[in-house]
Amino acid sequence: MSLQKKRQQLVWIGNGMAGMRSVEEVIALCPDSFDLTIIGEEPVRSYNRILLSSVLQGDESLDRIYTQSDEWFKEHHITVHTGVKVEWIDTNKKRIKTNTDVYIPYDKVIIATGSTPFILPVLGIEKEGVTAFRTIEECKELLTTASSYTKAVVIGGGLLGLEAAKGLIHLGMKVDVVHRSSCIMERQLDEPAAKLLQKELESQGMNFHLGKETSELIGDHRVKKVLFSDGTSVEADIVVMSAGVRPNCELAIKSGIMTNRGILVDDRLRTSVNDVYAVGECVEHRGTVYGMVKPLYEQSKVLAQELCGIEGLQFRGTILATQLKIAGVDLFSIGDITTNETSKAISVMDELNGHYRKLIFEADRLSGAILYGNTLDRSKLQDLVVKQTDLTDEEKQQLLISQGSQTGQIGEMPASQLICQCNAVTKADIIKAVQVENLESVEEIKSCTKAASSCGGCKPIVSDLLAYIQSDEFEEVVEAPLSLCSCTNLTEAEAIESIYEKELSSLSMIFNELLWDTSEGCEVCRETLSYYLGMMHPNYHLKQHIQHNAMKQSDGLYAVLVGWGDTHTQAERFSDVSQLLKQYTHVSVHPTSHDKLQVSGIRKQELTSVWNQLKLPEITFSGSRLWIRSQTDMSQCGCIQDVARELSLKLHERFQFLQMPAETVLTIHACSHGKFDGDLLLIQTAVGWEVYIGGQEDTQLFYVMPSQLELMEAVSVLLQYYRQTASYREVMVSWLNRIGMVHVREVVFDAGCRNDLLHELDETRRRNAETFQLDQKEPV
């Protein structure tokens, strides 16, 4: 009788958007690995809190904002406790205590307690009619009471406050908005844009009291008036507090978990206590607390990998974009909208049409943007900010002018451009869904792709894209992704996802479990799958790719590869090869790629002597690897290249048995006389070491390192991050262009990231060394 492995107990405290999204991500990666328990303080199942304002405005119904059905929880065997509050986490005995005096054990616990609304500490807040606007119950209360009263005051002129105010107007109420700043939405807008927005909202029925401090809520049993510190007041039957939120850290503090403004987490969402994680609005990451949907979903994806034991993704922070969900308002803001001594801004105001555009640049890159009235270019600008694309002066000026019609804008978007940032849905994803599933409405797109299902900010552009697809101008064809090879119908991404989900650890398991057409696979799939298995299981990688430095030929003889630049000059290498040819007249020599020579025709019994004579290691690596070249031909220049050879040796030792996503050539020059080639180029100059990525055709300066020690560390971190995050066969410059130069720089030069990546690199090298000692093979 076989014993089944006991499943780990995962417990989520909080069933809000971040908590539920991380549950979904775990189920997608490891559907059968855990017993899942969710505890929610609200008496209802999970719902989309962001869409509550859309319910008030009549654009959504309450029954359509729930994220999952009761059947979904039953289908995935999830235990759900609603209306239950967790009082304490006993991190020593690994159990949690609820307000019903029930103890629930855990192997890993995830705190997803979200945030709590900031209630002004003024007299009268306990009166009837005073409410926050944060929960589904508060939304229901407003829907009910609005039919009996006429005057509402919203305290807070930020994003959620204005959306709530619009909803109350939709319910037939007279609405006053009170804001302590002189401009509404001052965190996302500058003064000109805020004034245009205020004018539009006033035309829709809002009355503003700006620069006002609330001092007291007046009334007997029910609120009747809001009194300001300057002695003025405004009448009110309902007061909605929307003056901001704060991370809900109460449970973490009680349980001895480190907090600041929020619960402190690292790039894998780990707290200060082992097996305790946190995600969502309750966390503080690198000094930032996030209240938008997109970063919470990005955190959830990383957390799911961490819980499932999968290395790779790390949460590095995100760039926030804002759109106001109010009919008749076209508003978009992204990035840093402030200017300082290092940034410059250009803007244009079209008073006739009520349009405004402001662009903020750091050097030659767009760092922030505000669009009001005409937001046709929002996707393009968002792409430029996220990717940190270098722009010419002419390109900067062109960004001030909206390019063409809405249909034209949609048509010019690349298929890979993100339409829904929250759920990472591209233009191609939506086109494919519409064509394959015959979708005819935004709601159908929303259900099928999840676009516009979270914050709802992209709903207008989804609608525009649908109209474009249904128009006569639409001629685009989105090709279906090709299968990995002829042995399977799965794409490469689908195959890798299945390997993670099913925890497969060998090619035979993959071919059997994933129903491959052939039991042995083919050259394409064996090579690709071996790479990913090697990244997931280092021992597999070593056994497959580390072997004696000899390749058996079809005639039964052997060949070895000979390189130079690591320990010898070219002259020394040629001398060694020349002596070998005199001794073994039956061998032949011909050049290969990566500055190598192949010596062929060696008999098995001659291998040891050949290795010794050519000063070659007996062990070599057959997978995609890092090839290191230094300028050792003194005829090219009179510069001393000793430091280049020293770096070559150190980097060769560090990466000699590590699998790379693609063949990667690192070239090192101790002077500026060498060729600008290779995937990664290091050149010593008067001010330090210049690091380039790309080669002759697409060379990009990554950074200038002042010392050799800093260079060694930075290059090691850069290569390790490339190993962890690139796809198979994705060359370094393509990887850099895909994820962005700025992002990679932030990772390499962040102390925490750098330490983590160096630790992971050293651990991999240590495991390789241990396995290598136990795995000495005979050449075959």
Instruction: Give me 284's structure tokens.
Output: 């503080």
Query: Do 730 and 593 belong to one domain?
Result: yes
Q: Pairing between strand 206-210 and 174-179?
A: parallel
Reply yes or no on whether the pLDDT at 507 is more than 90. no
Q: Which of 480, 509, 538 is the last residue of a domain?
A: 480
Q: What percent of the chain has pLDDT over 90?
A: 33
CA 141, 142, 144, 146 torsion-angle sign: positive
Strand partners, 5: none
Those residues whose C-beta lies under 8 Å from the C-beta of residue 564, and which sit 6 or more positions away, are: 570, 572, 573, 595, 632
Query: Do 577 and 713 belong to one domain?
Result: yes
Cβ-defined contacts of 502-508 (< 8 Å, 24+): 503/30, 503/33, 504/533, 505/533, 505/536, 505/537, 505/540, 506/533, 506/540, 507/533
Q: Directed axis angle between helix 708-725 and helix 741-749, to 10°? A: 120
Cβ–Cβ < 8 Å for 344, 357: no
Q: Which of 210, 224, 57, 33 is nearest to 133 (CA)?
A: 57
- What are the DSSP calls for 288-314, one per residue? B---SHHHHHHHHHHHHHHHTT-----
Element (H, E) at 573: helix 570-583
Reply yes or no on whether the pLDDT at 443 is more than 70. yes
In this prediction, residue 480 carries a pLDDT of 61
Query: With the CA atoms of 97, 100, 105 and 106 taken in that order, what torsion angle do they form, in degrees rounded to the nearest 10?
Result: -70
Tell the residue number behind the tokens 């869409």, with chain if given.
51
Query: Do 613 and 757 belong to one domain?
Result: yes
> What does the pLDDT look like over 292-344, one tens digit per residue?
888 899 999 999 989 998 877 789 888 888 888 888 888 999 988 888 888 89
- Average pLDDT over every residue of 508-527: 84
Query: Do 447 and 554 belong to one domain?
Result: no
> What does the pLDDT look like over 23-58, one tens digit per residue?
999 998 888 889 999 999 999 999 988 889 889 988
Question: What angle is formed at CA 474 by the lines to CA 325 and CA 409, rounded to 5 degrees?
Answer: 45
Query: Do 179 and 96 belong to one domain?
Result: no
Confidence of residue 595 (pLDDT cuts 50, 70, 90): low
Reply yes or no on whether the pLDDT at 709 is more than 80. yes
Query: Do 705 and 569 belong to one domain?
Result: yes
Query: Do 96 and 138 belong to one domain?
Result: no
- Average pLDDT over every residue of 159-181: 94
Establish if 370 belongs to a structural domain. Answer: no
In this prediction, residue 149 carries a pLDDT of 93
In this prediction, residue 280 carries a pLDDT of 95
Question: What angle is formed at CA 716 by the lines to CA 272 and CA 631, rounded to 5 degrees?
Answer: 170
- Among 69-73, 359-363, 464-468, the minimum mean pLDDT is found in 464-468
Tell the residue number behind the tokens 């009235």, with chain if given.
373
Establish if 657 belongs to a structural domain. Answer: yes
- Average pLDDT over every residue of 650-669: 81
Q: Of 289-298, 634-643, 647-656, 767-776, give the range with the top mean pLDDT.
A: 289-298
Cβ–Cβ < 8 Å for 319, 345: no
Confidence of residue 372 (pLDDT cuts 50, 70, 90): very high
Instruction: Give me 452's structure tokens.
Output: 């516009």
Cβ–Cβ < 8 Å for 208, 202: yes
Residue 443: give its domain's CATH number: 1.10.10.1100
What does the mean pLDDT of the chain come to?
A: 83
Confidence of residue 505 (pLDDT cuts 50, 70, 90): confident
Q: Which of 428, 448, 480 is the last residue of a domain?
A: 480
Establish if 512 belongs to a structural domain. Answer: no
Instruction: Give me 597's structure tokens.
Output: 């020579």
In this prediction, residue 634 carries a pLDDT of 45
Residue type, 85: K
In this prediction, residue 633 carries a pLDDT of 47
> What does the pLDDT look like over 712-725, one tens digit per residue?
899 999 999 998 88
Higher pLDDT, 254 or 536: 254
- Average pLDDT over every residue of 597-612: 81
Q: What is the DSSP letter of 676?
A: -
- Average pLDDT over every residue of 448-452: 84
Length of the chain: 780
In this prediction, residue 632 carries a pLDDT of 46
Reply yes or no on whether the pLDDT at 198 is more than 50. yes
Cβ–Cβ < 8 Å for 11, 39: yes
Reply yes or no on whether the pLDDT at 638 is more than 70. no
Establish if 506 belongs to a structural domain. Answer: no
In this prediction, residue 242 carries a pLDDT of 92
> What does the pLDDT look like over 81-114, one tens digit per residue?
999 999 999 999 999 999 999 999 999 999 999 9
Instruction: Give me 563's structure tokens.
Output: 């390189």
HEC string of 101-114 equals CCEEECCEEEECCC
In this prediction, residue 283 carries a pLDDT of 96
Cβ–Cβ < 8 Å for 769, 619: no
Cβ–Cβ < 8 Å for 115, 281: yes
In this prediction, residue 780 carries a pLDDT of 41
Query: Do 264 and 174 belong to one domain?
Result: no
Query: Do 728 and 597 belong to one domain?
Result: yes
Higher pLDDT, 425 or 595: 425
Q: What percent of the chain has pLDDT over 70?
A: 87
Those residues whose C-beta lies under 8 Å from the C-beta of residue 38, and which sit 6 or more positions away, are: 11, 12, 15, 19, 20, 23, 46, 78, 79, 80, 81
Query: Do 599 and 692 belong to one domain?
Result: yes
Higher pLDDT, 231 or 685: 231
> What range defines the domain where residue 225 resides?
130-243
Establish if 39 belongs to a structural domain. Answer: yes
Rounded CA-CA distance 195/183 in Å is 7
What are the backbone dihedrals phi and psi of residue 332, each rounded to the nearest 5 degrees, phi first?
-145, 135
Q: Which of 458, 480, 502 is the last residue of a domain?
A: 480
In this prediction, residue 79 carries a pLDDT of 95
Establish if 317 belongs to a structural domain. Answer: no
Question: What angle is formed at CA 386 by the lines to CA 383 and CA 387, rounded to 5 degrees?
Answer: 80
Q: How many domains does the chain have?
A: 4
In this prediction, residue 402 carries a pLDDT of 64
Instruction: Give me 779's structure tokens.
Output: 């050449």
- Average pLDDT over every residue of 120-146: 92
- Average pLDDT over every residue of 284-295: 89
614-653 burial, b at 16+ Cβ within 10 Å, e below that, comes to bebeebbbebbbbbbbbbbeeeeeebebebbbebbeebbe
In this prediction, residue 556 carries a pLDDT of 75
Establish if 353 belongs to a structural domain. Answer: no
Three-class SS state of 378: helix
In this prediction, residue 212 carries a pLDDT of 94
Query: Do 258 and 150 belong to one domain?
Result: no
Rounded CA-CA distance 221/517 in Å is 75
Query: Do 60 and 205 belong to one domain?
Result: no
Reply yes or no on whether the pLDDT at 635 is more than 70. no
Rounded CA-CA distance 263/286 in Å is 11
Reply yes or no on whether the pLDDT at 681 is more than 90. no
> What does the pLDDT look like over 210-265, one tens digit per residue?
999 999 999 999 999 999 999 999 999 999 999 889 999 999 999 999 999 999 99
- What are the DSSP calls for 330-369, one per residue? -EEEEE-----TTEEEEEEEETTTTEEEEEEEETTEEEEE
* Phi-psi group of 282: left, alpha or beta (phi > 0 → left; psi -120 to 50 → alpha; rest → beta): alpha
Establish if 424 belongs to a structural domain. Answer: yes
Residue 700: give its domain's CATH number: 3.30.413.10
Confidence of residue 739 (pLDDT cuts 50, 70, 90): confident
> What does the pLDDT look like over 386-424, one tens digit per residue?
878 888 888 888 888 765 455 556 777 777 677 887 777
Q: How far is CA 103 from CA 85, 95, 96, 671, in A?
A: 12, 6, 5, 67
> What does the pLDDT look like over 608-622, one tens digit per residue?
888 788 777 666 555
> What does the pLDDT look like over 539-585, one tens digit per residue?
665 555 555 666 667 677 877 777 654 445 556 767 778 888 888 87
Residue 260: give its domain's CATH number: 3.50.50.60
Confidence of residue 2 (pLDDT cuts 50, 70, 90): very low
Q: Directed axis angle between helix 442-449 and helix 427-437, to 10°? A: 110
Q: Pairing between strand 558-563 and 551-552?
A: antiparallel
In this prediction, residue 622 carries a pLDDT of 53
